[in-house]
Every structure is written in C-alpha cells, then in structure tokens.
Amino acid sequence: MKMPRSAKILLVEDNSGDEFLVRDAFERGRARHELEVVRDGEAALQRLRGLGEHAEKPVPDLILLDLNLPKIDGRDVLKTVKTDNSLANIPVLVLTTSSSPLDIENCYALHANAYLTKPFDALGYEEIVDAVESFWFATAVLPPHGNGTH
Amino acid sequence: MRDLRANAIILIAYLIVGVGSFLLAIPPGFLAPVWLPGAVGLASVLIVGHRALPAIALGMFALTLPYGLYVLDAGLDRSLAGSFGLAAAAVAQAVIAKRLIHPGDRSDLSLESGAQLIRLIAFGAIFASMCGAALASAWLTIGGFAPPQLDFFTAFLRNWTGNAVACASLTPIILLLFASKRVSRTRKRNVALAFLLLCAIGIGLFSLARINAIERRDELFNAQVTEDHIALQERLNGARRRLESLEGFFAASENVTRDEFEIFIDIAFGQFDSVNSVHWLVVEDADSRSSHAILAPVDHLRFDTRRRIPVAPGRRLVTDFYFEGLTDLIDDLLASGTLSASSLRGDDHTAWLALAIPAFSGRSLPDDVAQRRENLQGIAIGTFRIDAILTGSFQRERQVYNYRVNGLAADGSTAWQYGSAPADSPLATSRELRLGGQIWRIDYVATDRFLAAQQDWVSWAVIVVGLCFVSVLNALALLSTARTDLVQRLVDEKTVETLALSRNLSLILEHAADAIMGLDADGRGVLVNPAAAKLLGYEPEELTGRNVHDLIHPVDMDGKPHARADCPLVLRGRESDQHSGVERFRRKDGSDFFAEYSSEVIRDTDGRSLGDVTIMRDITERLEAEADRDRFIERLTRANEELERFAFVASHDLQEPLRLISNFTGLLASRYNDNLDEAGRTYIRHTLDATVRMQALITDLLAYGRLNSDVDMMNRDVDLAQLVTSTLDTLGPSVQAARDNIKIGPLPVVRGNPARLGQLLQNLIGNAVKFQPVGQDAHITIDAEDIGDAWRLSITDNGIGIKPEYREQVFMPFKRLHSPDTYPGSGMGLAICRKIVESHGGVLTVSDNEPCGSVFRFTLPKTGPDKQDQ
C-alpha cells in the first residue's frame, strides 16, 4: 500500500447492522484504517467540528455518510460539511439504501464526492470497500490533514 | 301594356292641359301665353323616356287639328298637314330635351340639387322649346298653314315664350308629384290639392275679371256704335231736310229756270258731299212741255231718255232720270204723301239710295191718293252714295267695327244689301234704320283691333303669372319639404326602432337575474332594476336619487369603513373605464354579502363622465362553495400526499431491514456454508430468493411512488422514434434477440418527460416480449396515428393476450395474472405505465389483437402534459 499511515474514516451510520458489515468489510480489506462511528447527524457534526468529547480528535480523511439519520438528516450534514470551509475538503461518500434519482442528484448537487448504494448481497460491502480503498487510499491523493487535530 | 297605359295617361293629361291652354289663349289671334302641353310633354319624356313620344305626337295632333279646321277655317288637308308638322315639332322638342337633360336615374328627377333644376330650366324649358318653336313656326309659315298675317318671327316668339313659360313653371311640380320618391304620397296629395285649389281660385277670379271686362267692352262698343248710328241718322235727316227745302223752292215759284235750280241746289247740297244727283221731276199736263235738268249727273248712274210717267188722268210726270223701281218709289210717295226712300241700288261699289219728296199744290196735303195725284206738282229726288253717307257718319269704322247693311222686308226677312263684316266675331250689335218707309238693319261687328285694344291685359297677366307662380311655389314647397319628409320618415323609423329597443332593454332589465344599477356622476342612483333592489333589500325608489355608495357599500372587503372617494367602484380618475372585481356590499337590513361586480363609465360625446353602470351578482354562496371545495381538495391532496409519502417512506424503510436480512443471510451462506447441512443451505437459499423478490417489489413500489415527485421534468420535446430505439438498446438479451421482429412505424415528437416515457416504452415492449408462449418468437409492431389533438400510439404483440375480465385488473398495483415462476415480475409494471400515461394527460388501454396477443394503446396530447394536468 502506498499509504504509510492508517486512514481515518468517519462512518455516520445509525444502523448497527450496517456498521457491522462496513467494519467487517474494512477489516477484511487491505488498508490500514481507523474506523470511527457516530450514530446520528448531530454527533457527526460535533465530531467534525471537534466539539465536546471530540475536542482532541483528528480530522477524518474520509466520511462515509448515510442519508437517513436521526436528529440531523444526512443530507443536511452533507450540506453543512460542504459549506463549511474548514470541512469542505474532506471527501464525503454517501452510502445509503436509497436509489432514488432525486437523492442522487441532490447529493451530487451538494458536492458529495461519491454516491454509493448499500448492496443487497453479502459480498457487496466487500466490493465497495475494496473499490474505496483502491481509489481513495491507493489511487487518489487526499487533502493534507496530517494527524492534525482541531 | 305598360306603355299603352302610360301613353293613355299622358295623352289624357296632354289633351286636358291643351284645352286649358286654349281657354287661356288671348283673342284676337289667340296667343297662348302658357302652352301647358309643352310642360306635360317634357315631364313625361323625362319620367318614362321615349315611350311617351306617341302620346305627345297624338296629343299635339288632336289639339291642333280642330283649331285649324274650325278656328282658322283652313280646310281639311291644310289642317291635317299643319297639325302633322306641329306634332313632329313637339316630338322633336321632347327628344332634344331628353337628350340634353338625360337623367341618369329617377333620383335625378327629384330636383334636389340646384344643378338639376338649372339643367331642367336651361335645357328643357328654354333651349328645347326654342328648337320646337322654331320648327313649328317654320313649318306653319313656310308651308303656308298659318293665317296670312302671322309671320315666322311672331309665330316663333309666341310659340317659344308660351312653351318656355309652361315648361319652366309646371314641369318641376309634375316631376316632383309623379317621379320623386323622396316626397311622401301624403305630401304629394296635399300639395297637389293645394295646387289645384289655388289654380281653381285663380281661374275663378280670372273668369270674374274676364266677365267684367267683357261687359265693359261691350258697353263701350254699344255706346260707340250708337253714337255713330245716330250720326248716320242725322246725316240722312240732313239729306231729307235739303230735299224738303227743294219742295218749298218749287212751291214758291211757278217756273224755275235750270240756272235758278242749279244755283239753289248748289246752295242746298253744296256741303253735302255724298249727294250724287238731285232731280226735280215736274208734273205737267198732257200738253205742257217743261222740264228740269239734273245736277251733277254721276257717270255710273244710267239714265234713260226722257220719260213721261202718268200720275193722274191728263197729268204725267216728266223725267229724264229713271231707274227701275222709280215708279214704285212714286207710288210709295203718293201713298205716304211724304219722304220716301228707295231700296239700295247699284252694286257693292256703287251702291246708292234715292230719296224722293213730293210737292203738292195747295196749302195742305190732300187726304187721299187720287186727290194727291191730282194735286201733285212735282217730285224732288236726290240720289246719295251709300259709301259716302256711311263713311261720313262712321267716325270709328274699321277701328272699332265693320258693318253690314241688311234690308228688312215687311215679312221680317232680311237680305244683305251692302257692307262686309266677318260673321264670327265675339262682339257684334245691330241697329235699325228707318227712312222714307224703308227699314234697314245695320250689323256692327267689332274689329280685332277694337277687341285687342279693349283686351284686359292685367287679368291675363295675373292669371298667367299667378299660375306660373303657384306651380313654381308648390314645386319649391315640395322640394323643400322632401328633405323634411325624408328626415321625418327616418325619425319615425328610428323612433319605432328605439321604442322597440327600449322595450326590449327594459324587459331585459326587469328580468335580468343580475343586479343592474345606473349611477350618475355624483353616485346617485338613476336606474335600479328589480334584481338589484331585491338583492339589496330595498325598493327601487329608495335607491334612486340617493347616494348609493353610502347605503350599500359602506365597508371594504375587510369590513373597514371607507369613503366613497376610496371606493373601488367609483371609477373617476381610473385609467380604464371598465372595472370589475369582488366587493362586500350591505343590505338594507345591515347584513353583508359578497358580490362580483363589473362597472363601466358612461361618457357623453365630449368624454365627460355621466356616471357608471354597475352589474353585480351575489357570490356569497359561490364563495362558500368554492371555499368548501378548496378545503376538500386541500384535505384530499394532503391525504394523498401523506399516503404517497407513507408508501414511499414505508417502502424505503422496508428496504433497510430487508437489505440487512439479505446481507447477513448472504454472509451466513458464504462464511458458514460448510457448517450447514443441506437443509440449512436450502433454507438460506429460499430466504435469499424471498429477499430478492421482496426487493423487486419494493423497488417497483418506490418507482411507482416516485412518479409524482418529478413533474418538473414533464415538458420536454421527446422524439419517440429515438426513444424507442434507445429503449430497445437498454432492454435485456431476450428483446435484442427479438429485435428483428419488431416493426416500428413513423413516430411523432411529443411533449413529456423522456425518462418516464422511456420507462413506459420499456415496460410495454418488455411485456410484449416477455408474455409469449414457450417457444414462440415475439412479433411486435409499434405505431402511431394522429387523432386530432393527440397522438395515439399502439404496441401490438402476438403474445398470450389478456382475457377480457382481467383487462382492468392488470393496471392495478401488484396485480399479477401468472405466478412469478412462469412470468417473473412484481406486478407493478402496468400500474406504473398507466400512471405515466395519465400524468402526461393520456389514456392507456388494452385490447385483443387478432388472432392472438394484445394491443396496448395510449394517447399523448399534442399540447403537452402541463396543460392537461391543470
């Protein structure tokens, strides 16, 4: 792997089943990673802005964002992140069940970096994680956050 | 037939006015100051054209022929020839007038413009009649049909003036009475009656004046005749006295020498120029011989040689003067014993009269004839030239009268003796003349000169000028009233129309369901129809004349009081004269209602506002109904949206656990496959199959639910031919295999959502391919037809078809006719199709294809779905 350090991934997901599957897929993957999970949109924003308990945590390299979230909807989280100058450069990959064209269009309009639908079959997550790792962690160059914190 | 009738009418009129003109003609010479037939001829040729010519010719001929025959006594052939020429001249005059005036149509005869009148007078009355007069006069004078004293110029002038005056004065009124359409029949009748009445009065006055004048003329004539007659009598008495003096002369001297006699005669008759000769006839005894010569014997008196006429036994009258009748004269003389006259002797030129007087011896006249014969001494006889006597007596002869001397016999019969005078003069008188036992009757016949001199020119002038004046005046009256008539007629027509209109309008106002109010410029009610009064709860009278705004419109829409100046119904100062809207109005009982109104300002011709008319309708109920409906629609829409949202969210949320079931079952299958027995693996396989099927259901349900969420993409141009091609490309391998059997007709470009229409085609074509009997190749036809305001597309297949009882059910969500094992699918396809078509404003149906298969037809409006949805 080209990446010398482990990638910090923030998964915003309320469903523990999905969290399990994503985590499982990343663990089966090849990249070094730190997967952090928040359960709702509000927590996600607090985490990203380093508020409260998240004060000393580093800025994630990649955000995996579900759309249907408790408290603050994933779409609003996306919008806030992409309009916040200090956060806008973090790649946000929308990972959702919805295959609605409207959602797809809206998310890209809000500058989502990718729109991924949650797969139905068991190996689907592994394929997604494999693609994310090979593109975002191996091929693409991510913005230089270093190990900086807020 | 029409020509015949017109000609008959013209002829009768021609003859009547012709006779009238003759009656107006002035004797002597009978100058016609107005020749009325000329006017009738001109008018008729202008009205009916050349068809009038026969009547004119015949009328002229019939009028003038009796004149030539009886008045001029010209003989039949000359009269015929003269009348013929005059008729021809009259026709020529009419033709010339017609050619010159040449009216375009009958309206030209209405004489409305001065030009028409001038043309009529100048061409018709003056020029054409001049031509006619010239022709007629030339014919009469050159052809010798006129009286000898009438020369061409006189005839021409008389003819022309008479014609021109009549044409100028009478033609206009004839034209107006018989040709003008502008003048009403009633007015024509009135004017004609007035005209005739004035004419009758004029003619009556004229007749009275004429009778008076004739009486005065006759008196003058008689007085002058009497005067001359007395002079005649005196002259004859003078002759008598001279003869009687002769008697004394002879009585005084027994013997008179010839010289003495001549001297005496010279003294006695010297100044008496009409004496022809004077004789003294002596009675002698048979033996005596004495005689006296005659004085100044006139050559033309023939005298016999001396004769002796016995008068008594032994006595005879010796005379060398003799004429036939002398013995009768002597007999008369002896019988009367005094002056006797002979009848007139000689011929017309040398007529003379003998007067004889006896001389008897003794003092007194013997009593009987025998004794007179015995005593007769002699007879003095004078012969007198009649012409000289009469000329000397009649001072006014040939100026006043001509005379005729008739002998009157004892039996009362008369015999012409001397003088000539026309027999047919309108004025003549007779006097008796008695002299020496003879009686003459002298006829004094007034000369034309006297008649002309005694003519009452004033009454002629009055009647002629008066008639002309009356006719011109009436023509002018008709002319001036024609326009008035027209205006009156128009006014009458318009009045009737206006009355009908106002009746209709008031009916409309009375029965209009809408309230109609007319307000003046100050907002006072002028007109309030019953509907308005009823709507507002007032009597109509309560609103008229009062400020309506304060009564019925004191508050604005929100119920706040507002002044009239702020009232939206008051339209002054507004840019447009029309205004409409909804306002709150108040009834008399204080309750409010909402009304839709429309106001329009009424302006006079100067643009000043006279007020406005407002029409209003109570829409309180309608507003309530609309509000109810809007509320209902809102509720319905909300329910629908909630339902759709529910379905969408539900299906979305259903997906989550299903996906996890599928994920974890999949993990189970892949990671614990070896730990499971065959039954466990079968269970997992069934579970996975179920999740796949359920996911398909949810996907379709989501798609169905999403159809309503993207209406903004509905209005694009979609080329169906292109869309079908691209749709076929995206369909699966089964369709690609069947592609050779898909026929595509010409397809239109429609308005709509390309993605949805693509989904529609995909579903329908996919169905057509899918629902085939095992082993059969699909044959599909895609076609379109123009049905006016929409396209109808059809997709025809040769598949398994749909039984009639299921044709509606197949469009219901999740409705399947077959098990998923036979024909896979969620059962949402046709429901989605129908929803797509309906969201485009079209209709989707299915029917049988012959001999097998189905035809799906759907319509797409040409205008696009955006208008259809609303």
Instruction: Look at residue B103 in the predicted model and tell me its pLDDT.
Output: 62
Contacts of B597 (CB under 8 A, 6+ apart): B569, B580, B581, B582, B583, B614, B615, B616, B617
Q: Write down the pLDDT at residue B711.
A: 57
- R_g of chain A, CA atoms, integer Å: 14
| DSSP characters over B175-219 | HHHHT-SSS-HHHHHHHHHHHHHHHHHHHHHHHHHHHHHHHHHHH
Mark yes or no for CB contact B666/A100 under 8 Å.
Answer: no
Largest CA distance in chain B: 235
Provide φ and ψ at B837, rounded to 5°.
-60, -45
Distance of CA B733 to the CA centre of its chain: 94
Q: Do B699 and A99 touch (CB under 8 A)?
A: yes
B434 Cβ under 8 Å from any chain A Cβ: no
Among the partner residues A15, A102, A120, nearest to B710 by beta-carbon distance: A102
B706 touches chain A (CB under 8 A): yes
How far apart (Å, rounded) are the C-alpha atoms in residues B105 and B140?
36
Q: What is the pLDDT of residue B294?
A: 46
pLDDT of residue B299: 43
CB-nearest partner of B709 from A18, A102, A122:
A102
Task: Map out the domains of chain A as residue ranges.
Answer: 7-139
CA distance linking residue B98 with residue B49, whole number of Å: 7
- pLDDT-based confidence at A107, cuts 50/70/90? very high
Do the two domains B227-446 and B512-618 of this chain adopt the same fold? yes
Rounded Cα gap, residues B139 and B805, in angstroms: 116
Element counts in chain A: helices (H) and strands (E): 5, 5
Going by the DSSP 8-state scheme, the letter that residue A40 receives in this structure is S
Phi, psi of B609 (to 5 degrees): -75, 130
Q: Is the pLDDT of residue A75 over 60?
A: yes
CB-nearest partner of B659 from A68, A118, A123: A118
Q: Which residue has the tokens 């797509």?
A: B836
The CATH number given to B711-869 is 3.30.565.10
Residues from chain B that touch A124, judged by Cβ atoms under 8 A, are 663
Fold topology of B512-618: Beta-Lactamase (3.30.450)
The rounded average pLDDT for each run of 10 residues, N- to C-terminus, in chain B (870 residues) is: 83 88 67 80 86 90 85 80 90 88 64 75 86 89 76 85 84 81 78 83 80 86 90 86 78 67 77 78 67 46 64 78 80 85 77 84 78 83 83 76 83 80 76 85 84 73 77 77 78 91 87 87 84 87 83 83 74 67 87 88 83 87 90 88 76 82 88 88 88 83 72 76 88 78 90 87 89 86 90 92 86 80 81 88 89 90 55
- CB of B571 closer than 8 Å to CB of B579: yes
- Joined tokens for residue B633: 């629609």
Cβ <8 Å between B666 and A121: yes
- Say if the Cβ atoms of B670 and A102 lie within 8 Å: no
Provide the residue ranges of all domains of chain B, joining segments of one domain with +: 2-178, 227-446, 512-618, 637-691, 711-869
Is there a contact between A131 and B669 (Cβ–Cβ < 8 Å)?
Answer: no
Contact: A121, B695; criterion CB under 8 Å:
no
Contacts of A24 in chain B (CB under 8 A): 667
pLDDT of amino acid B574: 57
Enter the ipTM.
0.78
Q: Considering CB atoms only, which of A24, A122, A125 is closest to B669?
A: A122
Judge: B656–A97 Cβ closer than 8 Å, yes or no: yes
Q: Do B660 and A15 touch (CB under 8 A)?
A: yes
Residues of A with CB under 8 A from a CB of B: 15, 17-18, 21, 24, 68, 97-102, 118-125
Instruction: Note whether A119 contacts B663, CB cutoff 8 Å.
Output: yes
CATH of domain B227-446: 3.30.450.350
d(CA B324, CA B335): 18
Q: Which of residues 110-169 of B touch A (CB under 8 A)?
A: none
* pLDDT at residue B868 in the model: 40
**Residue of chain B whose Cα is closest to the Cα of A97:** B656
| Residue of chain B whose Cα is closest to the Cα of A101 | B706
Contact call for A97 and B664, based on CB within 8 A: no
Q: How far is B665 from chain A (nearest CA, A)?
A: 7
| Residue B348, both tokens | 């017309």
Of 3.40.50.720, 3.90.930.12, 3.40.50.2300, 3.10.129.10, the CATH number of A7-139 is 3.40.50.2300
Integer CA distances (angstroms), B327 to B332, B402, B438, B566, in order:
9, 34, 16, 144
Q: Would an 8 Å CB–CB cutoff place B712 in contact with chain A?
A: no
Query: Any idea how long chain B is?
Result: 870
- CB-defined contacts A:B, below 8 A: 53
Q: What is the pTM of this model?
A: 0.44
> Which CATH number is correct for B2-178, 3.40.50, 1.10.1760, 1.10.287, 3.30.1490?
1.10.1760
Q: What is the pLDDT of residue B293?
A: 44
